[in-house]
Structure 1
Amino acid sequence: MLGKKLRELIIPIRIKFFKKINQYLLESQKHTLMAQFKSYGEGCHFYVPFCINDAGNLEIGNQVTVGTYVHMWCHGGIKIGDRVMIGSHTAITSVTHDYEQENMRRTGVTKKVVIEDDVWIGTHSVILPGITIGKGAVIGANSVVTKDVEPYSIVFGSPAKHYKFRDLKECN
């Protein structure tokens, strides 16, 4: 009887302890990775876990938010402006393979990705190499961006297509 009560007390303590350890490790990973960025501004928030390859080619502006499970392949360079929001499970890549070569595996093709200020990228989106997303644009969830996006436009779909321009109201 005493053993069962003791286990009932210990199990929640162990769970809480291991959750704290996991949180500490994820935060440590985040700060270690951010130290490798080419640059990043103030007020940025990265939800962990996330994965960034070749982080030295990543430039991030101020007040950028990156959701969980975001993957970035920065081999060709990725530049993210100010106040950008990137939804969870998004993939941004500046590297691809040359499908016209027989051995595609060894054919890295790099093209810089530029995401301008005040962009919102919806969850589960994919941004391909060489893309520029204009200031204030909105990328709908689950979109695959294969072409440049005009400033203040709303695009969605696979491949992403222009829906309309944002109707911005004056803020008082």
Structure 2
Amino acid sequence: MVENGKDSIISKKIIIKDHVWVCAYATVLKGVCIKKNSVVAYGALLTNTIDKENVLYGGVPAKMIKENISWRE
């Protein structure tokens, strides 16, 4: 975006709650919130907020793969 001849960067926070795993080469875009006890798989592209807790997301773009997971197992 260009305003008054200068580049303007629009930023949003990324929120990662407790006990979240973000695996290698995963990409989390701006404005995304990852709920607690969730996992973002290797190489995933997370474009939207994860609305549930205890889920596994993966793929490009990322989608829910499994619910009711536990990172402790």
TM-score band w.r.t. shorter chain:
0.7 to 0.9
2:22 is aligned, of 115, 121, 132, to 121
Q: Is this contact kept in 1: 2:44–2:60, CA < 8 A? A: yes
Shift, 1:134, TM fit = 0.3
Q: Distance in 2 between matches of 1:115 and 1:158?
A: 19
Runs of 4+ in 1 over 4 A off after TM superposition: none
Larger radius of gyration: 1
Give the structure with the larger strand fraction: 2
C-alpha RMSD of matched pairs (Å):
2.1
**Which residue of structure 2 aligns with residue 107 of structure 1?**
8
Q: Does 1:130 align with 2:6?
A: no
* TM-score calculated relative to the size of structure 2: 0.81
How far is the alpha carbon of 1:110 from its aligned partner?
A: 0.9
Deviation at 1:107, TM superposition (A): 2.3
Runs of 5+ unmatched residues, structure 1 = 1-97
Please report how far the alpha carbon of residue 165 of structure 1 lies from its aligned counterpart in structure 2 after TM superposition: 1.0
Q: What is residue 20 of structure 1 aligned with on the other side?
A: none
Matches within 5 A, 1:78-89: none
Number of residues of Structure 1 aligned to a counterpart in Structure 2:
68
Give the SS at the match of 1:109: coil
Alignment gaps of 5+ in structure 2:
none
Q: Is the 8 A contact 2:38 2:69 kept in 1?
A: no
Are 1:155 and 2:33 an aligned pair?
A: no
**TM-score of the two chains, using structure 1 as the length reference:** 0.36
The structure where helix makes up a greater share of residues is 1
Identical aligned pairs, as a percentage? 25
In the TM superposition, what is the alpha-carbon distance from 1:164 to its structure 2 partner?
Answer: 1.4
Q: Which has the higher contact order (CA 8 A, sep 6+)?
A: 2
1:88-103 matched pairs, under 5 angstroms: 98=1
